[in-house]
Structure 1
Amino acid sequence: MENQKSSSSLKAVIAVLAVLLVGSLIYIFKVTSDVKTVQTELKSTMTEKESVMTDLQELKATYDAAISENTSMSDELIQERDKVVSLMADLSKSKGDVSSMAKYKKQFFALQNNMKALMAENEGLKKENKIVTSQRDSTVVVLGESQKYNETLVGQNEELSKTVEKAAKLTILNTSGTAFKVRSSGKQIVTDKASRADMLKISFTIAANQIAKSGEKAYYVQVIDSKNNVLGDKKTVNFGDQTLTYSFITNVNYENKTVQVTENLPGKDFPKGVYYVNVFDNNENVSKTSFTLK
């Protein structure tokens, strides 16, 4: 009877041990399986992290290339590129767990969509810029040709103006100086003797000119004797930094027709020698001559 009880107890112990062994084996298998699953998930997560990092690097490279083209959208592109760089820094610091990777992938896709929209807009602007540049270059060529043509016209007009101005100037002809002896009767007798002369007669002709401006003309006449003295009024007039000493002024009402001008210059004790007559239109010497008294 005791042997039977011992045998039953032993069987019970063996049965319990068997159950415990089976339970242990099942637990070990489950733990080993969970570890492998975690390792697989970690490996998969790390691979996904590297993949997202690679995608972000490509995104940044795309922005860098677009920014280097220096378009009107450079500021917007730089802002988006900086967002990519910031996300790369955050991703680099992350542990790469499943929840964080889901967040980073979501942010990456959002940035990628923004990039596609900006790149499309940037390409559109580049095409427009090419058209504008082409049109501008064509305009520059046309303007250049127009400028050359205008410069030619301006040059021709200047030459024409100079020609007209030159043609419009009055020509002084036949300038002469003659000495006279004036008798008490008023009769004037030509003389070439300095000792007999008591008046000089200065004459010149203003030629007809149909394109010259008509109206009052003033000429300064300068008579210089053989001792280099200016005869007559000996007045001075300034033309800028130039000063002219003249013998008299003759005023003429010019009406585009030939005008004979004659002025008398009284005097006494005229010295012998060569006398010089200069006719000035303002400060320009327009005619000159000389005569001699013996």
Structure 2
Amino acid sequence: MKVLNNSSVKKVLNFSPAILLILLVIYSFNTHENKNELEDEFFKEKKLLQNELNKIVADYKEITSKKKWLTKRVVNGMNKIIALKDSVEQLEKVNYDLLFKYSLKITKLERENRKLFLKVESLQKQNTKLRSENTQVKKDLQAEEKSFSSLVAENKKLKREELALKRKVNIAGTIEISSVLVEALKEKSNGKYTTTNRYKKTDAFRIKFDILPNELANIGNREIFVQILDDHNNTVPSEKSGSKNEISYNDLISIDYDREKISVVSLVSVDRASMNEGDYTVNVYIGKRKVGKSIINLR
């Protein structure tokens, strides 16, 4: 068998420690004739083999600490190495055949170790990529949530503005009336009326006002209620007294509103015997909304 020179040994250093051990076994077998020297060399090579096994075990332990989900596979590999390590440690006598056999096993385990490392590296890259994608997804989700919150806030704002606009439109479309003019009347023998300020001579009230034009108001029928209250806030009895929509009235007038001005005159007849001295309040309602008021004093 050809003996390895120094140049050959240097070239082999580029290979794995396990292959180096195999070559060292062959080298030692061919170059050591002295028994003591051969034993010394054997135990040196055994020590190298143990060191290599310790290194592989350490590598496996490092993977186990970093990748818990690989534990079962790594533990199986570690058990094989530990068993091999125990077998090497039990070699007390020179036995190059077993040392050579164990070296071959180390070579095989080293290949498995390298594949496992490559797998771990690949999984690490995938995990890093997934974390990066997950981070981006979270950022996108946060952006979507922020956008959604912004849209909700904008929608609420628009609804508030819409309600405010509706209120403004409703207010703008409200029908109003002019000032209410009230007169107390005394009926003459010929059936005509003249004004008076004496309660004992009051036979009627004449109420005048105008329905004002409004281009934004709805066209259609409107009910106008005229209400006359005495000093005690009681509705004065009259021929046309009634109650509707929780409003007691002395006169009910129905008009067909077409957004133009309408002059209204209400004549309410009363019994002068039921009249008393004091202030009389006249309220005007369109529907349920009070739109005008006036007070007249009778002595």
Q: How does 1:1-294 map to 2 (within 5 A)?
A: 33=38, 37=42, 39-40=43-44, 42-60=46-64, 63=67, 79-80=69-70, 82-83=71-72, 86-87=75-76, 90=79, 94=83, 96=85, 97=87, 98=102, 105-128=110-133, 157-183=162-188, 185-232=190-237, 233=241, 235=243, 237-238=245-246, 244-268=247-271, 269-294=274-299
Q: What CA distance in whole angstroms lies between the structure 2 residues aligned with 1:115 and 1:213?
A: 79
Q: What CA distance in whole angstroms lies between the structure 2 residues aligned with 1:133 and 1:116?
A: 25
Question: Quick one: which amino acid aligns to residue 184 of structure 2?
Answer: A
Question: SS where residue 199 of structure 2 aligns?
Answer: coil
Q: What CA distance in whole angstroms lies between the structure 2 residues aligned with 1:151 and 1:292?
A: 52
Question: SS where residue 174 of structure 1 aligns?
Answer: coil
Partner residue in 1 for 2:15 = none
Aligned residues: CA RMSD = 3.9
Q: What CA distance in whole angstroms lies between the structure 2 residues aligned with 1:130 and 1:192?
A: 88
Contact 1:94 1:100 in 2 (8 A): no
Question: SS where residue 124 of structure 2 aligns?
Answer: helix
Contact 2:180 2:207 in 1 (8 A): yes
Q: What CA distance in whole angstroms lies between the structure 1 residues aligned with 2:110 and 2:176?
A: 97
Question: Quick one: which amino acid aligns to residue 251 of structure 1?
Answer: S
Structure 1: gaps spanning 5 or more residues: 1-28, 64-77, 239-243
Q: What CA distance in whole angstroms lies between the structure 2 residues aligned with 1:132 and 1:186?
A: 92
Question: Quick one: which amino acid aligns to residue 124 of structure 1?
Answer: K
Question: Quick one: which amino acid aligns to residue 56 of structure 2?
Answer: V
Q: CA deviation at 1:209?
A: 0.6
Question: SS where residue 230 of structure 1 aligns?
Answer: coil
Q: CA deviation at 1:204?
A: 2.2
Question: Quick one: which amino acid aligns to residue 52 of structure 1?
Answer: I
Deviates more, 1:251-260 or 1:281-290: 281-290
Q: CA deviation at 1:212?
A: 1.2
Contact 1:218 1:249 in 2 (8 A): yes
State the identity %. 21
TM-score by length of 1: 0.64
Contact 1:219 1:280 in 2 (8 A): yes
Q: CA deviation at 1:290?
A: 0.7
Q: What CA distance in whole angstroms lies between the structure 2 residues aligned with 1:283 and 1:92?
A: 97
Post-superposition Cα deviations, 1:188-236, rounded to whole Å, max 9, x if no partner, equal 2222221111222223221111111111122333321123212243526
May I ask how many residue pairs the two structures share in their alignment? Answer: 245
Partner residue in 2 for 1:241 = none
Contact 1:179 1:201 in 2 (8 A): yes
Kindly tell me: are residues 271 and 103 of structure 1, through their superposed partners in 2, closer, same or farther at Cα, counting changes over 3 Å?
A: farther
Post-superposition Cα deviations, 1:146-195, rounded to whole Å, max 9, x if no partner, equal 77777776665555444333221112212122222234644222222211
Contact 1:84 1:111 in 2 (8 A): no
